[in-house]
Amino acid sequence: MTRGRGFFRWSVLVAGFVFLYAPIALLVIYSFNASRLVTVWGGFSPRWYIALLDDRQMVDAAFISLRVAFVSALFATALGTCAAIALARLGSFRGRALFAAMVMAPLVMPEVIMGLSLLLLFVALDAPRGFWTIVLAHATMGMCFVAVVVRERLEGVDRSIEEAAMDLGASPAQALLRVTLPIAMPSILAGYVLAFTLSLDDFVIASFTSGPGSTTLPMRVYSQARLGVSPEINAISTVMIGFVAALLCVHALARASRRARD
């Protein structure tokens, strides 16, 4: 390994991560800008955060988003965990290829397709659109991400422990609840956090499936962002980024302390 190649590698990494993080950093920095002009620095000020608190619609939208994310991530985690166990532990079954494809497809499917088709389903079923239709849509999207995370964990663990439990007289249900689930638990929690943030951040699918009175935070941010850059959007974006970052930190710390205890 020559020194020249090492230098090249580190400069690639630095350039790459600057590209990934600079736009987010600039957005955060300019949310503290005293000036209304978003590209001219006018001194430090928290005024846009104070203005946010007075924006009733924005605060309402934030609470709707949090509620949707909380509930939809519960469904997503339960269903995604089931799907992961089915794919990782049940071996072959009729319709496995279709099932595996359906679990994977929403990861890459353009969101407009998912949003439009779900909306047409809800219209066909005459379901009133609002909180619950967004929850159903987000649960469907989230469960696929949960399934990927949990399945990866289960496939990395030897099945022999579960087989030993059944040899010792545990029923398949007991083996599932007392052996498989505890093994998968860290990944199930990680899956919940992922489904929660995906729901909190989603704009396209929520736009199709929401109804009057259930405008989510990204929808509110979008309708203002279309009018151009404004320091208030920078401020609410910074709050959202900070919230998710805090969530991830809590999750990582909880995980680390659990590991230390074991």
With a CB cutoff of 8 Å and minimum separation 6, the contacts of 174 are 165
- Cβ at position 79, least distance to another protein in Å: 5
Sort 226 into a burial class: Cβ within 10 Å, 0-12 / 13-18 / 19+: exposed
CB 251 within 8 A of CB 189: yes
Q: What are 33's strand-pairing partners? A: 44
Residue whose C-alpha is closest to residue 146's, from 197, 96, 90: 197
Residue whose C-alpha is closest to residue 73's, from 138, 134, 119: 138
Residues of this chain, 69-88, that bind another protein according to CB under 8 A: 78-83, 85-86
Cα 60 to Cα 216: distance, rounded to the nearest angstrom? 8
Query: Of the two residues 10 and 44, which places its CB atom closer to another protein in the complex?
Result: 10
Angle CA 108–113–116, to nearest 5: 145
Binding characters for another protein, 29-58, by CB under 8 A (x = yes): -x-------xx-------------------
With a CB cutoff of 8 Å and minimum separation 6, the contacts of 189 are 251, 254, 255
**Number of shown-chain residues binding another protein (CB under 8 A):** 85
Query: Of the two residues 23 and 128, which places its CB atom closer to another protein in the complex?
Result: 23
Give the interface segment with another protein, choosing from 44-52, 56-64, 110-118, 182-190 (CB under 8 A).
Answer: 110-118
Cα 152 to Cα 187: distance, rounded to the nearest angstrom? 9
* 137 binds another protein per the rule CB under 8 A: yes
Residues of this chain, 220-239, that bind another protein according to CB under 8 A: 221-222, 225-226, 228-229, 233, 237
- Cβ at position 82, least distance to another protein in Å: 4
- Cβ at position 53, least distance to another protein in Å: 19
* 128 binds another protein per the rule CB under 8 A: no
- Cβ at position 54, least distance to another protein in Å: 21
- Map residue 62 onto helix, strand or coil: helix
- Cβ at position 111, least distance to another protein in Å: 7
Which one among 18, 21, 250, 254 touches another protein, defined by CB under 8 A?
21
The tokens describing 51, both together, are 């203005």
Which one among 35, 44, 46, 105 touches another protein, defined by CB under 8 A?
105
Residues of this chain, 160-199, that bind another protein according to CB under 8 A: 171-173, 176-177, 194, 197
Give the interface segment with another protein, choosing from 51-59, 66-74, 120-128, 182-190 (CB under 8 A).
Answer: 120-128
The tokens describing 230, both together, are 């404004």
Cα 195 to Cα 143: distance, rounded to the nearest angstrom? 7
Which one among 94, 160, 168, 259 touches another protein, defined by CB under 8 A?
94
